[in-house]
Amino acid sequence: MANLSLKNVKKAFGNIEVIKGVDLDIEHGEFCVFVGPSGCGKSTLLRMISGLESISGGDVEIDGDRVNDIPAAERGLAMVFQSYALYPHMSVRQNLSFGLENLKTPKDEIEKKINAAAKMLQIDELMDRRPRDLSGGQRQRVAIGRAVVREPRIFLFDEPLSNLDAELRVDMRGEIALLHRQLGNTMIYVTHDQVEAMTMADKIAVLRSGEVEQFGKPLDLFNDPANIFVAGFIGSPKMNFIQGEMQGELLRLTNGESIELPKGRFNVSDGEKVTLGIRPNDIKPGDDVAHGLNATVRSVEQLGGDSYIYAKSANGESITIHRPGQVSISAGEELLLEVEVDKSHLFDRETGVTLLRERTADAKGAPAA
Amino acid sequence: MFRLLSALMELIDVPMQFVQKYLRGHRIAWMFLLPNLILFGLFAFLPILLNIAYAFTGTDNIMLWERTFVGADNFTTLSRCENYFDANSCEKDFFWRSVHNTAIFIVLQVGLMVGFSLLTALILNQKIRARGFFRSVFFFPVLLSPVVVALIWKWILQRNGLANAGLEALGMDRIVWMLDRHWAFFWSVFLSVWAHMGFYTLILLAGLQAIPRDVYEAALMDAAKPFRTFYRITMPLLMPTMLVVMVLALIKGVQTFDEVYAFTGGGPGSATTLIIQYIYETGFAGAPRLFGLASAASIILALVLAALTFLQLKATRKNADG
Amino acid sequence: MASVVKFLTGTRGKGRLHWTDWFTYAYLLGGILLMFGPVLWLVASSFKTDAELDKFPPRFLPHAALTVELEGHDKPLPLFKVTKGDLAGEQVAQVRRIGLTSQVVRLSEPDKKIKISVKDREPMEKISIATKNYTDLFRKFDFLQFFWNSTFITVAATIIMLIVNSMAAFALSKYQFKGRATVMAIVIGVLMVPQTVVLVPLFIVTKELGMLDTLWGVIIPGAATPTGIFLLRQYMLTIPDEILDAARMDKASEWKIYWRIILPLSAPAIAVLAILAIMWRWNDFLWPLIVLSRTENFTLQLALNSFQGEMATQWSNLLAMTVLTLLPVALVFAFLQKYIATGIASTGGK
């Protein structure tokens, strides 16, 4: 069992606070992804959990024990680094055994563990090579193997796939997920790639400038983003945002057009300045004037199976439309875009917090600022 | 051997791990710095402080507490001169002779050294075959010890040596090189340039090779003549490196001792006595040992070097910027 | 032959030789003569006998008189060829020389002495290598002792310097701690105060530590040079911090990180520094001259210097000793000149 809980964890470099009080509870066996734009503090948070970075405030607890002052090596964690950080002067075998030797594990046991891990990761043919003689994917496997042989309570991954090319990345994604199913350990995985987060995670923590914006299951984050930042960050292509002001049930856009929103879906009051959020799948060319807005097509990408239409609303906002199949629309055309308002989102323009009335039970947002 | 070393390292690991428990995080760095700081303290900082103390005290006692404070006496003694350009008019004529010798020595040595190094570097920078080999040819003497350098040339310049054989072959009379003050001085400069120019050639060659090829190609497209290219492109771009080389040569030149001392012993008379030799002979070789005077001379030397080092830092910075 | 000329005179691209090309090759040829020539002359001379060394004008290759052993004479006699007079064209052995006349014997009649003028004979010689100069070093002088002193000082000082400097470089490149800037300033400060300006107090410190006239008195103060710290730190900065973090996660202590990770990964820089340190220590002169006073503690350099006074006329042994002193340097140069060049270029000398 390895639960991890962070209680108001803070980190400051001098006067600059980079982690501003993070609370998280990660259950045993969960695959948790920290995702966020670069500089959001996700790697720092991971390094604080690992013990490589000191903790300025709050507590990190593993299985209920406070580990703030326990050195990295003694926390029973293992980490896979972005650059893999393999020891360049050691063979694959030595790379795997170095940590176990430091733990004074008996020789035959080391041998057994290494061989098992090597077999599982299919690197048993490479044991006597040096890291420089390995391909990117092989190095990645060795780095994971090094973590596996330690039989850690929690695996930590720091953007492990960012140095691989796109195709290999998809393969390794699957393998890490498989590894998680095989070992059943708690894993914490840091990435800036929301696709990676969505495909791998049991739980996602979205971070921005040192704070958790939302923590929950991938689809909950997608369907019920707690704020405009999460809404914009999760999902590809990005959610479209349209500025407006409430007028009864109508959202009045700045150029005078209006869209009718469903009754009771949102907590709004008359005259409130809001941002409407529509996923590219939830908007399409149509003729429903009540739920539509006018736009000019700027360009069209026809991928055969999918089509992306990039348009600009009369209001001046960019709108991306995703349609399955092929479309017969060309640049310069004027379109009426019909919004699927039952799937739309509405955010307070000042605070960015969602105005959705019925929230998903699990999707806890950060407290409104 | 390796196993022994390995075991030794494991042994050191035990106390180090213990220290690591108390010096958490990056403060463990102090443990790694400790041996060096002790060495620096004992053999660099303490001597600097002591040097000042010795310069202001007199008598030939070694122990500081047995020495009497004399204020700036050592300095005034050194500087008592009627005419600074005439060593004979000075109280410490030997000191002033060594200062004059050093001054002439470095002017000639640095001039010749930079000149020949530049010429050699330019030639080596051409499209020639076996450049690596020729580079090593000029570099080879840098590795020889000063005493070996001195003996090599002493052997060539001895009465029945190669140099005199050359003179006779040309129909001239033999010269007893080492007993003529001017020739002894000339050859001292010569062998010092011979021994060290490879080093500066190497630096200048690196500087030349750092000039991008396409600049020359652009000049070629602009129909620039070779000499014009040299004056308008090579020299300005090489200037920062030249500056570093000059100041470096100057700093080392002022400290010249080994090869000249082994070559001439400072003679004939005091014709080739340089400032370091003066310090050495005043402080160590002679009796009584005049530590105060030697220290005072050291401080004067240190000030000159500090000024030169300051110049070097400025030159290096300019180099890094440009 | 033609191809050799073609190779040597070839310029890349252009076909014909410009006058500047001739100048270039003339300069380079002169360079070889001037740089290698004196050393070769020294080596050649070191194999000459005393008699040959006194000869003027000198010859490049060592020669020795041909001798013959004859009945009734204790020593081998030098052979001569007679050029004039009754014996013209014959080979004779010289028994002794008195003024301008020389007593010789025919090889067939070893008892019958004949007087001839010294002008009428020419010595018969062969090219011969006199190894006596070298064997003398071991018989007459304590050459092995000097060699051992130099070797011991060089090896010990190099090892100490490498360990101490690499530890400091590690601390200064891989740790962020309060006071790092100060320590860096100290290192630069030490770099700017050369040993030559603190000779007197350095001597006194060494004396007070009881290291005067011991090999350790040369070794320890010599190890306090910061050049190596700069060289190694520059290299260690290129080792990614993540590797150190990985080792920390692998429960390696900081000391273990130093010697299992940092040292092996810095091997190229350490090799360069080791070569430089060996050169410096082996060639060191002024500091050993001040510290060491008993002959049995002398390094090769000191021995060479002191014998050139004592043996003002004994060039034969001095030359041999000089050759043996420069031999290790020449060997190192031959094998490692590439590393030395890059190393010296990157440290800017001492």
How confident is the model at residue C1, as a pLDDT?
41
pLDDT (0 to 100) of residue A13: 87
For residue range A319-337, list pLDDT tens digits in order.
Answer: 999 999 998 888 898 888 8
Chains near A with 3+ CB pairs less than 8 A apart are: C
Mind telling me how many Å the CA of A87 is from chain C's nearest CA?
7
Return the residue of C nearest to B312 by Cα. Answer: C192
Task: Mark yes or no for CB contact B162/C58 under 8 Å.
Answer: yes
Quick one: closest CA in C to A151, which residue?
C250
pLDDT at A134 over 80: yes
Contact A265, A342 (CB under 8 A): yes
Instruction: Name the closest residue on chain A to residue C242, using Cα atoms.
Output: A85
Give which of A285, A267, A299 is closest to A340, Cα–Cα: A285
Asked if A99 and C265 come within 8 Å (Cβ–Cβ), the reply is: no
Those residues of chain B that have pLDDT short of 50 are 322
8 A C-beta contact, residue A363 and residue A221? yes
> What pLDDT score was predicted for residue A363?
46
- Residues of chain C neighbouring A89 (CB-CB closer than 8 A): 264-265, 267
Helix, strand and coil content of chain A, in percent to the nearest 5, comes to 30, 35, 35
pLDDT at C340 over 80: no
Tell me which chains share at least 3 CB pairs under 8 Å with chain C.
A, B
* Chain A residues whose beta carbon lies within 8 Å of the beta carbon of residue C262: none
Question: Is the Cβ pair C249, A79 closer than 8 Å?
Answer: yes
pLDDT of A338-361, one tens digit each? 988 888 999 998 899 998 887 775
Query: Taking a contact as any Cβ pair under 8 Å apart, which residues of chain B between 22 and 51 contact chain C?
Result: 25-33, 35-37, 39-40, 42-51
Contact (CB, 8 A) for C154 and C281: yes
Task: Over range A7-11, report the average pLDDT.
Answer: 92
Q: Does residue A106 surpass a pLDDT of 80?
A: yes
pLDDT one-digit tens code per residue, C76-133: 777 777 877 777 777 777 877 777 787 878 777 777 777 777 777 777 777 777 777 8
Best of A13, A80, A83 to mutate (most C CBs within 10 Å, chain C) = A83
Chain C residue with the nearest C-alpha to that of B125: C24
Q: Which residues of A touch C245 (CB under 8 A)?
A: 47, 52, 72, 79, 81, 85
Neighbours of A248 (CB within 10 A): 12
The pLDDT, as a whole number, for residue C16 is: 59
The answer to whether A83 contacts C242, with C-beta atoms less than 8 Å apart, is: yes
Chain A partners within 8 Å of C247 (Cβ): 87, 98
d(CA C185, CA C173): 14
Closest residue to C345, CB basis, from B54, B129, B202: B202
Residues of chain B contacting C290 with CB distance shorter than 8 Å: 280, 284
Q: CB-CB: which of C240, C260, C265 is closest to A83?
A: C240
Q: Is the pLDDT of residue C288 over 80?
A: yes
pLDDT range class, residue A293, cuts 50, 70, 90: confident
Instruction: Measure the CA–CA gap between B63 and C62, rounded to whole angstroms.
Output: 55
**CB atoms inside a 10 Å sphere around CB B235:** 12
Which of A228, A237, A258, A234 has its CA nearest to residue A346?
A: A228
End-to-end CA distance of chain A: 35
Specify whether the CB–CB gap between A209 and A36 falls below 8 A: no
Interface check for C248 against chain A (CB to CB < 8 A): the answer is yes
The CB-side HSE value for A74 (13 A sphere, CA atoms) comes to: 9
Closest alpha carbon to A152 in A78, A64, A100, A81: A78
Q: Tell me, what's the pLDDT at A369? A: 33
Prediction pTM value:
0.81
Helix, strand or coil, per DSSP, at residue B68 = coil
Residue with tokens 């509405």: A346
Residue A238: the pLDDT is 92
- Our CA-based measurement puts residue B299 at a distance from the nearest CA of chain C, in whole angstroms, of 7
β-pairing verdict for A273-278 and A345-348: antiparallel
Q: Where is pLDDT greater, at C177 or B313?
A: C177
In chain B, residues with a C-beta closer than 8 Å to the C-beta of C197 are 51, 298-299, 301-302, 305
Token pair for C338? 């590439």
- Cβ distance B123 to C27 less than 8 Å, yes or no, reads yes
Opening angle at CA C336, ends C333 and C340, nearest 5: 85
Res A278: pLDDT:
93
For B47, the enclosing helix (H) or strand (E) is helix B46-55
Instruction: Please tell me which residue of chain A has the smallest CA distance to C248.
Output: A73
CB A87 within 8 A of CB C256: no
Provide DSSP, B107-121: HHHHHHHHHHHHHHH
DSSP A346: E
In this structure, what token pair is assigned to residue B278?
A: 């003066």
* pLDDT tens digits along A138-185: 999 999 999 999 889 999 999 998 888 888 888 889 889 999 998 889
* Cβ-based burial of C134 (10 A; exposed 0-12, middle 13-18, buried ≥19): buried
Closest CA to A48 of A237, A190, A162: A190
- Please report where in the chains the tokens 């410490």 appear, as a residue: B92
- Give the CA radius of gyration of chain A: 24
Tokens at C43, concatenated: 């080596």
**Closest CB to C259 among B9, B126, B291:** B9
What secondary structure, in 3-state letters, does chain C show? CHHHHHHHHCCCCCCCCCHHHHHHHHHHHHHHHHHHHHHHHHHHHCCCCHHHHHCCCCCCCCEEECEECCCCCCCCEEEEEECCCCCCCCEEEEEEEECCEEEEEECCCCCCEEEEEHHHEEECEEECCCCHHHHHHHHHCCHHHHHHHHHHHHHHHHHHHHHHHHHHHHHHHHCCCCCHHHHHHHHHHHHHCCHHHHHHHHHHHHHHCCCCCCHHHHHHHHCCCCHHHHHHHHHHCCCCHHHHHHHHHCCCCHHHHHHHHHHHHCHHHHHHHHHHHHHHHHHCCHHHHHHCCCHHHCCHHHHHHHHHHHCCCCHHHHHHHHHHHHHHHHHHHHHHHHHHHHHHHHHCCC
Widest pairwise Cα distance in chain A:
77
- Chain B, residues 123-152, CB within 8 A of chain C, namely 123, 126-129, 132, 134-148, 151-152
Flag whether pLDDT at C6 surpasses 60. Answer: no
- Please judge whether A98 and C242 are an interchain contact, meaning their C-beta atoms are less than 8 angstroms apart: no
B260 CB neighbour count, 10 Å cutoff: 28
Q: Is C334 left (phi over 0), alpha (psi -120 to 50) or beta?
A: alpha
